[in-house]
């Protein structure tokens, strides 16, 4: 009986792992990671003419190590597996016609041409009371402001890490984590101010019934489980709050 149980368990584990990977792909994580790396490359070019050569090179070396595509995927996928016990409901949602439409809208919003187009701010989106109410519910259900803050903190963390390497002890004694937490709160407050308009813009192609279905999933227990795991996996993938010395790859075989 024990041998049979072990055999069935070994047969089930690859299938479970594959469902997490399929969810990772269906929800648009690889495309979003690619867009993040493209934005990082652009930021590096901007800093090249404003930073001393030694500081610039340290920044580039640290960011390339921390944000290597394979490393981000490995950390994020590993964390998603650890944090989301049952990926099936979220996988089913993102593989549906509506889920694919939502992912396409999110991926479009982070494309380099779209970021450049709206670099000075998004246009104000007109919407009736019903649609604004749906968007408000969505804003409360999605960890959008938290995710935006984590991306900003990940980029800021590279600069802090680079300075700490060049000037040992500069941000020691828990000072770095204290600064990180304070900045996170400020960033979320800033994002919250225009969050509804941002979501109105990102999901502008969704009809009201589609938006209502999205809200229902985001508010459901399965949706909340996914988005909680997704936020944690985003932080893990971007190694927010970790120094270069702490960047250890998770176990292989994910």
Using CA atoms, how far apart are residues 142 and 224, in angstroms rounded to an integer?
8
> Can you give the pLDDT at residue 181?
65
Residue 190 pLDDT greater than 70, yes or no: yes
> Can you give the pLDDT at residue 143?
97
> Can you give the pLDDT at residue 8?
40
Q: What is the pLDDT of residues 57-67, one digit of tens each?
A: 888 888 888 89
Q: What is the pLDDT of residues 236-246, one digit of tens each?
A: 999 887 766 66
Q: For residue 108, which of 38, 187, 31 has the smallest C-alpha distance?
A: 31
Q: What is the DSSP string of the chain?
A: -HHHHHHHHHHHHHHHHHHHHHHHHHTTHHHHHHHHHHHHHHHHHHHHTTS-HHHHHHHHHHHHHHT-HHHHHHHHHHHHHHH-S--HHHHHHHHSHHHHHHHHHHHHHTSHHHHHHTTT-PPPPP--HHHHHHHHHHHHHS-HHHHHHHHHHHHHHHHHHHHHHHSTTTTTTTHHHHHHHHHHHHHHHHHHHTHHHHHHHHTTTS-HHHHHHHHHHHHSHHHHHHHHHHHHHHHHHTTTT--GGG--PPPS--
pTM for the whole structure: 0.84
Q: What is the pLDDT of residues 194-216, one digit of tens each?
A: 999 999 999 999 999 999 999 99
Q: What is the pLDDT of residues 78-104, one digit of tens each?
A: 999 999 999 999 999 999 999 999 999
Using CA atoms, how far apart are residues 59 and 55, in angstroms rounded to an integer?
6
> Can you give the pLDDT at residue 243?
66
Domain boundary assignment for the chain: 18-244
**pLDDT band at residue 253 under the 50/70/90 scheme:** very low
Q: What is the pLDDT of residues 121-152, one digit of tens each?
A: 999 999 999 999 999 999 999 999 999 999 88
> Can you give the pLDDT at residue 61?
85
């Amino acid at each position: 009986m024990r041998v049979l149980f072990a055999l069935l368990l070994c047969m089930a584990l690859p299938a479970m792992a594959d469902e997490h990977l399929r969810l990772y792909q269906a929800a648009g994580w690889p495309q979003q990671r690619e867009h993040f790396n493209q934005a990082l490359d652009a930021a590096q070019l901007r800093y090249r003419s404003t930073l001393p050569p030694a500081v610039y090179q340290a920044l580039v070396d640290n960011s390339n190590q921390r944000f290597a595509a394979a490393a981000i995927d490995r950390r994020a996928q590993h964390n998603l597996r650890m944090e989301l016990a049952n990926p099936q409901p979220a996988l089913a949602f993102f593989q549906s016609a509506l889920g694919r439409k939502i992912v396409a809208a999110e991926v479009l919003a982070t494309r380099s041409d779209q970021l450049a187009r709206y670099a000075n701010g998004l246009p104000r989106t007109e919407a009736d009371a019903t649609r604004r109410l749906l968007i408000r519910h969505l804003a409360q259900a999605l960890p959008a402001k938290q995710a935006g803050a984590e991306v900003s903190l990940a980029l800021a963390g590279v600069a802090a890490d680079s300075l700490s390497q060049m000037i040992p002890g500069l941000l020691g004694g828990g000072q770095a984590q204290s600064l990180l937490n304070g900045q996170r709160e400020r960033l979320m407050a800033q994002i919250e101010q225009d969050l509804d308009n941002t979501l109105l813009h990102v999901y502008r192609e969704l009809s009201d019934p589609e938006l209502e279905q999205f809200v229902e999933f985001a508010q459901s227990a399965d949706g909340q489980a996914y988005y909680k795991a997704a936020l944690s996996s985003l932080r893990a993938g971007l190694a927010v709050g970790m120094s270069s010395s702490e960047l250890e790859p998770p176990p292989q075989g994910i």
